[in-house]
Amino acid sequence: MSFAFYLISAISVAGGLAAVLLKNTVHCALALTVVFAGLALLFLQLDAQFAGFAQILVYIGAVAILVVFAILLTKGSETPKDGVFSKTWLAGLAVAAAVFAVFGWTVLQSGAVLPHQTATPQVTVAQIGTALMGRYVLPLEIVALLLTAALIGAVIIAMHEKPENNEEEVAK
């Protein structure tokens, strides 16, 4: 366990806590960007360069920007008067703590049987491309279809429809 791992993990977890706890929604989105960057660095630590840069491109480049757009379009940056947490926050916190307890207990209990290969995997981008075009070509095509459907669907859902009574008002 290197010092870099502890440093990046601490930054990621602190960013996650900030994203969940801060009052101002724009600050939450910026903290979320810190988490995405920290996870990309953890991917690089794990010798998964391609996944790390895909994480930076997709999450920091697209999803974080999309979240900020949505916050600004919904005027979500105004802090509500009656608090940012829901009425049932205690139950939600208890569920999350219970889930973490189960995960942590399971991981720590199974430490000895988990695999621990030490050799650095030698993976080039060419190998990833060959795998995407060979063994994983069907999932790749399905993801392409899914992204197209999601793009069209998101545009149609968020499209501002002109109210139909406009024509009636013109007729009057």
**Which x/- pattern, by CB under 8 A, does the window 76-115 give for other proteins?**
x---x--xxxxxxx-xxx-xxx-xx--xx--xx--x--xx
CB of 15 to other proteins, least distance (A): 9
CB of 169 to other proteins, least distance (A): 19
32 contributes a contact to other proteins by CB under 8 A: yes
CA atoms of 35 and 37, how far apart (whole Å): 5
Separation of CA 37 from chain center: 11
CA atoms of 67 and 26, how far apart (whole Å): 9
* Under 8 Å between Cβ of 19 and 31: yes
16 contributes a contact to other proteins by CB under 8 A: yes
CA atoms of 76 and 19, how far apart (whole Å): 14
Nearer to other proteins, 99 or 167 (CB): 99
Nearer to other proteins, 47 or 167 (CB): 47
